[in-house]
């Protein structure tokens, strides 16, 4: 779970990505924990400035809203190891809808999210998935630009569209708006999950997710 934020404008993204090494404060959850808070679902689902990206059936009985940062190791663990199991058991069976919201704590996460938003809509989640899978390549080194560009070129970008995207003020504003919306909902760390309004912070095991989801499905 990470708890730091560098607010930025597009003019300093390149400089900061080259100079900043990401560090993280890690909190490991050892067992199922009670929710940190409960937030009204109508408030959580209220239309914001940024269009939500989601997987699953629109009217699924359980809605999970995840606030994540691309530089968060526990977010990567969720996406790489836990989400495939949730997809198989709940999302693809119509039981769960997962809404993914960007919560960029630092310039590298901001740049990654900008690239995902610049991609065609049907490539948003595939690019997010690759960025999490290859987190070790572009997050932890001294210079993020080279590996980020390599990933982007594989995703269909050109050198020109890559550079143009990272200078796109509208896209930057969208990523920052998602962060601000999260703050308004009480998000202070990643990952944060709202499961039918119940707020859970930090790492959760797949068994934790199964337990919480099943409790809502039974009701």
Give the pLDDT of residue 33.
84
Q: pTM of this prediction?
A: 0.86
Phi, psi at residue 183, to the nearest 5°? -60, -40
DSSP string, 11-75: GGHHHHHHHPPP--------S----SEE--HHHHHS--SS--EEES-TT-SEEEEEEE-TT-HHH
The domain limits of the chain are 33-218
Bigger pLDDT: 68 or 5? 68
Peptide bond into 56 cis (omega under 30): no
Share of the chain above pLDDT 90, in %: 82
Tell me the pLDDT band of 26, cut-offs 50, 70 and 90. Answer: very low
CA distance 214 to 134: 31
Q: What is the pLDDT of residues 100-154, one digit of tens each?
A: 999 999 999 999 999 999 999 999 999 999 999 999 999 999 999 999 999 999 9
Buried b / exposed e along 116-149 (16+ C-beta atoms within 10 A): bbbbeeeebbebbebbbebbeebbeeeebbeebb
Residues 76-89 have a mean pLDDT of 98
Residues 40-49 have a mean pLDDT of 93
Question: Whose CA is closest to 163, among 8, 4, 10?
Answer: 10
User: Residue 121: CB partners within 8 Å, gap ≥ 6?
Assistant: 53
Phi, psi at residue 200, to the nearest 5°? -125, 135
CA distance 76 to 70: 7
Give the pLDDT of residue 163.
98
Q: What is the pLDDT of residues 171-190, one digit of tens each?
A: 999 999 999 999 999 999 99
- Rounding to the nearest 10 degrees, give the CA dihedral for residues 198, 199, 200, 205: 30
CATH of domain 33-218: 3.40.30.10
- Which class for 166: exposed (0-12), middle (13-18), buried (19 or more C-beta within 10 A)? buried
Residues 63-88 have a mean pLDDT of 98
Structure tokens at 214: 């099943």
Phi, psi at residue 209, to the nearest 5°? -60, -45
Give the pLDDT of residue 60.
98
């Amino acid at each position: 779970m990470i708890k730091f934020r560098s607010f930025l404008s597009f003019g300093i993204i390149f400089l900061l990505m080259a100079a900043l090494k990401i560090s993280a404060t890690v909190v490991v959850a050892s067992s199922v924990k009670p929710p940190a808070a409960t937030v009204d679902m109508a408030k959580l689902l209220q239309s914001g400035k940024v269009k939500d990206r989601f997987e699953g059936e629109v009217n699924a009985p359980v809605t999970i809203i995840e606030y994540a940062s691309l530089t968060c190791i526990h977010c990567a663990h969720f996406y790489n190891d836990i989400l495939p199991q949730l997809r198989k058991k709940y999302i693809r069976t119509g039981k769960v809808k997962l809404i993914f919201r960007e919560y960029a704590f630092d310039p590298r996460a901001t740049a990654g999210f900008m690239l995902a938003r610049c991609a065609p809509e049907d490539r948003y989640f595939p690019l997010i998935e690759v960025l999490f899978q290859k987190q070790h390549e572009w997050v932890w080194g001294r210079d993020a630009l080279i590996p980020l560009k390599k990933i982007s070129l594989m995703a269909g970008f050109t050198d020109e569209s890559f550079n143009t995207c990272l200078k796109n003020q509208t896209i930057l504003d969208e990523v920052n708006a998602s962060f601000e919306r999260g703050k308004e909902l009480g998000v202070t760390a990643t990952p944060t999950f709202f499961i039918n309004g119940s707020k859970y912070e930090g790492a959760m095991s797949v068994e934790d997710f199964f337990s919480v989801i099943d409790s809502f499905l039974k009701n």
